[in-house]
Amino acid sequence: MLSLRKLSVVVVVLLSFAFFSGIAYAAPKIKFNKMIHDFGEIEQMTSNKYKFTFKNIGDEELVIKKVKPSCGCTATLVSSDTLKPGESGEIEVTFNSGKFKNKVKKTIYVETNEPLFPGDEKVRMDKDKEPTTRVHKLYLTAKVKYDKKKEEALKKARREFQMKKSKERQENLKKAEGASKQLSRKGVSRQTSKITVPKEVQMAVAKTLKVDNSISFHPKSLTLGEIELNKEYKRPVKIINMTKDKVFNIVKVEVSVPFVATMINKMAILPNNPGQIEVIVNVKRAGELKKGNIFIYIKGKAQPLSIPISWKSEEEA
C-alpha cells in the first residue's frame, strides 16, 4: 500500500494535470479566423477596412474587455462584448494609410476574460499595467505605394516657395528701414501733415454697417497715450486673411491726421500668413488730444479698413 505522503503527491500531480490540460477546468476560449491580414499594395491617403471574426470555443462566457489599436488604425467591436460558448463575433479594423511609405505593420490588442496560466506569455496592452487576463495580438500589414518623383517635386516646390517668401521679407525689411530713415531725415510732419483721405470716404466708412468677415486686422485701434515731441513711435498693424483659399493685396494706405506716416511691410495677404503695415508717429508740435483714422485699401474691397489712432502730446517747455 502507498503511504499517506506518497498518496498526497499522486493526488496533487493528477489534479495539476487535469487543471492545466483543461479536462476538469471550465473557461472561455477565443479563436480568430486569422491573426494577420495583409491589405497588399495600397495607395497613400486611403481608408482600408477588414473584419476579424472570432468564436468562443470554450465552455464559459467570453467577455471582450478591451480592443486597442496602435497608431495609424482604428478598431471597433461590431458584435456583442459577451459571447456564450459557441457564439461568434466581429472586430472591424480601419487602417488609414496617410503618408506612410512602403511596408507597414500595425497591431491591434484584444483583451478578454480568459485566465492566464503559469508559463503563458503576458502581453502588455498598457505599459504601466501588468496583465491579469489574456491579451491577443492581431496584425495588419500593407505595402503603401508612393510616387517618389512627385514627392521630390513637391518638396522642391515648397523649398522654392519658402526661399521666395524669405527673400521678399528681407527686401521689404530693407525698404522699410530705408523709408524710416528717409522719414526721420525729412521730418514726418512735412510728409503727412496734409489730410489725404476725402471726407466722403471717411463718412462712408464711418456710416457703413456691413461687416466683412473675410479680412480682419489687429490691433483694432492704436491708442498711444501721452507721447514726447520729436520722438519717433512705431506700431505694427497685422492684416489677417480669414479665408482658406483667397489672396488679398494692399493697394495703398492713407491717414486723416497729421504727424502720422505708414509703410507697407507685406503687400500680399495669404491665408494664415498675415500682411503687415507699420505706423510711424512723430509729433512736432504740442497740442491737445489728437485722433483720426488710418485707411487701408484692399484690392477688391469696396470700403477700406479703418483703424482709429489717438495720442496726447506733452506741452512745449
- pLDDT tens-digit map of 163-199: 887 888 777 777 666 655 555 554 443 334 444 555 5
Do the domains spanning 17-146 and 187-313 agree at the CATH topology level?
A: yes
pTM, whole model, 2 decimals? 0.44
- Residues 248-253, mean pLDDT to the nearest whole number: 84
Q: pLDDT-derived band of residue 283, with 50, 70 and 90 as boundaries?
A: confident
Higher pLDDT, 205 or 25: 25
Sorted by where each begins, the domain ranges of the chain are 17-146, 187-313
Check residue 157 and give its pLDDT.
80
In order of 200, 204, 303, 313, the CA distances from 209 in angstroms are 16, 10, 11, 33
Q: Which residues, other chains included, contact 178 with Cβ-Cβ below 8 Å and sequence gap of 6+?
A: none
Query: For residue 2, is pLDDT > 70?
Result: no
The percentage of residues in the chain with a pLDDT greater than 90, rounded to a whole number, is 22
- Residues 222-237, mean pLDDT to the nearest whole number: 84
Check residue 242 and give its pLDDT.
82
Cis amide linkage into residue 219, ω under 30° from 0: yes
Check residue 49 and give its pLDDT.
92
Mean pLDDT of the chain, nearest integer: 78
- Residues 295-304, mean pLDDT to the nearest whole number: 84
DSSP β-bridge partners for residue 277: 237, 264
The CATH number for 17-146, chosen from 3.50.50.60, 2.60.40.10, 3.40.50.1820, 3.40.50.720, is 2.60.40.10
Q: Does domain 187-313 fall into CATH 2.60.40.10?
A: yes
